[in-house]
Structure 1
Amino acid sequence: MVSIKDIAKKAGVSISTVSYALNGSPKVTKETSERIQAIAKELNYIPSAAARSLKKRETKIIGIYLTNYSGAFYGELLQGMMETLSKNGYELIVCSGKESHRFLPERMIDGAIILDATYETEELLSHAERGHKLVVMDRRMDHPNISQVLLDNKAGATLAIDHLAEKGHRKIYVLKGPEISFDARQRLEAVQKAVQRYSQIEYIELDGDFNKPSGEAAGKKIHQEFSEPVGVFCLNDEMAIGMYNYFSRTNLRVGEDVHIIGFDNIEVSQYIQPRLATINYSKHKWGSLASELLINLIKKKKPEHERINVSLIEGDSVRNR
């Protein structure tokens, strides 16, 4: 691989002169600069991104850390991030796994957005202490180099339980998410508080993992126990769709025997029949705002804490009891 040392040797100048010329510095004459640029092109010189970022202390790249890439959830979120970053001259890379954690301390990225439950809070705090800029979307943190933008999970879960109760449902299953998930824990806490306001509700929790197979497994259990119409709150739409898949193979009907409400309003929720009742919010706005807050931190502005509002979308998957 060609280095600036090779260019300097062919041009008969010092390495520093080559560096000045390649970086457009006025310290070298126009004639010398053009000659060095021509030699660099002739030798197919490719500048080292690592060396350049080390010198400028910026890469113009932002990392988004995700627990995983599965499911239909991430498209709008990432689109919102990319659009905002692009407008501000940044690019986005998607990261997952322990090995990518070195991108921050090695300054391969200028900052990070965290939606990764496996990324330890202590490790993030240690990065922030060293001056790295972070935005968290899946936990609460208080540090001058960390902003947070969280979903109003508790409001959404409360809306879901109230909707089932208002439709007359007195037996309600709640399909939980993974314990490691901040959003799942927040939603479940709100559910547990909301059902206390309805003394006649029989409330049952089922284990889930935010994916379709766990929705199908929960559907099977509900089927085995079925004796009368029931309401079900799935803590995300992926599990709700898994439940639809299961009941499509049985004699029970969604919206008649089993009344299902989800959370996230992913695109496919609009097309399944009956239309899934769900908790809606703008994933595009969530991603865009996270990017905006991170850019502000990089510009040395104060950290901000924002919340994404939610709303209920009614559907025929939940009808009157």
Structure 2
Amino acid sequence: MAGIKDIAKEAGVSISTVSYALNGSPKVTEKTRQRIIKIAEELNYVPNAAARTLKTRKTHIIGAFLGDYSGSFYGELLKGINQELSDTGYELIVCNGPESHRLMTERMVDGALILGHRFTQEQILEFADRGHPLTMLDREIEHPNISCVLLDNQIGMNQEMDAILETNPGQIHLVNGPVGNHDAVERRKVVVDRANAAGVTVREWTGEFTKRSGIRAASDLLEVLEEGDAIMCLNDDMALGVYDVLQNSSFRIGEDISLVGFDKLEITNYTQPRIASVSYSKPDWGKKAARALLHLIEEKEKSKETIPSKFMKDASIRKKNNKR
């Protein structure tokens, strides 16, 4: 494989002249640059990425640090990120787990998109203080090196509570998300505040934003579930777990009890009855997050955006309960 020395020898110029030409430096004329580029192409020259990174201190790689990879939610989000990064010269790597933090510590990525509770607030601020450009998707942090593109949980969740309270539920069973998760905290607050104001009892059940945790919660709450109750899951994966358990019970979703989720995953359109949920554009969220990070990297300007949400009412919500 040809190197810079081979190009310099063929062109009859110094190694530094070749380097200037290949890196677009104004220190060489356009005629010389074109001649050197032509020789490089003829010799099948491939730039040394490691050397280029040392020189420019840029890898042109973006890291997406996610709490998980599974499910259609992450697939749609990553699709949007990839669409925004296409033709920008940046590549995307998806990271998970505590050891992946080294990618930032060792500056193997130019910036990071963060969604998930694996990073503490202290760790995020430490990376930002070191000059790492970050875009947060799951919490709001004020820092010159941090942009925030957050989901508007409140609008969709309030609309969902409107629909649930209209059924006059006996009680609400709330299947929570991971402890400390920004979106779970915001969604829970809407449910609890609205239910308290309406005088409706809320029973809370542990969840982790996974289908398995929804199955576990449903198995427990079945012991106290009554006709006319509503089950509110803070994401669709958990709602699907609850759905599976209830399908094998005496309770009929949409008739005896209400079941709702959040995220409006495509699969919820194929359940019987279809699960009502809060919808928003996952690809658009990914696009806007990637755009905000690139702007922070290239222009050194942080930004803040919100992704709108909307409740999609469906057959999993029962009619008004007149027994209370």
Aligned equivalent of 1:54: 54
Partner of 1:112: 112
Cα distance in structure 1, aligned partners of 2:34 and 2:273: 72
Match of 2:273 in 1: 274
Please give the residue correspondences for 1:146-225 in structure 2 after superposition, counting only pairs within 5 Å: 146-199=146-199, 201-225=200-224
For structure 2, the residue ranges without an aligned partner over 5 or more in a row are none
Deviation at 1:233? Answer: 0.4
Task: Tell me if the contact between 1:21 and 1:36 (Cα under 8 Å) persists in the aligned partners.
Answer: no
Amino acid in the other structure paired with 2:93: I
Q: Match for residue 291 of structure 2?
A: 292
1:302 is aligned to: 301
Check the 8 A contact 1:231/1:260 in 2, yes or no.
Answer: yes
Q: What letter corresponds to residue 240 of structure 2 in structure 1?
A: I
Alignment of 1:103 onto 2:106: no
- Please give the alpha-carbon distance, in whole angstroms, between the structure 2 residues aligned to 1:304 and 1:23: 31
1:74-114 CA distance string (max 9 Å, x none) = 12211111111215343222111233223234332221111
2:252 match: 253
Question: How far has the Cα of 1:40 moved from its partner?
Answer: 5.0
Displacement of 1:262: 0.3
In structure 2, C-alpha distance between the alignment counterparts of 1:48 and 1:88, rounded to whole Å? 20
Question: 1-side partners of 2:291 and 2:33: how far apart?
Answer: 39
What is the aligned length?
Answer: 317
Q: Secondary structure at the match of 2:261?
A: strand
| Residues 232-268 of structure 1 deviation map (CA, whole Å, 9 limit, x = unaligned) | 1000000000111111222222112231010000111
Q: CA deviation at 1:131?
A: 2.2
Aligned-residue sequence identity (percent) comes to 45
Distance 2:121 2:4 in 1: 41
Determine helix, strand or coil for the equivalent of 2:53. helix
Structure 1 consecutive aligned stretches of length 4 or more whose deviation exceeds 3 Å: 1-36, 38-41
- Structure 1 length-normalised TM: 0.88
SS of the aligned residue for 1:197 comes to: helix
Q: Distance in 1 between matches of 2:87 and 2:253?
A: 44
1:229 is matched with which residue?
228
What is the CA distance between 1:277 and its match in structure 2? 0.6
- What SS does the corresponding residue of 2:232 show, helix, strand or coil? strand
Shift of 1:23: 4.3
CA distance in structure 1 between the partners assigned to 2:206 and 2:36 by the alignment: 66
Farther off after superposition, 185-194 or 268-277: 185-194
Deviates more, 1:97-106 or 1:169-178: 97-106
Residue of structure 2 in register with 1:136 after alignment: 136
Contact 1:160 1:233 in 2 (8 A): no
SS at match of 1:156: helix
Could you say what the CA RMSD is over the residues aligned between the two structures, in angstroms?
Answer: 2.7
Task: Tell me the TM-score normalized by structure 2.
Answer: 0.87
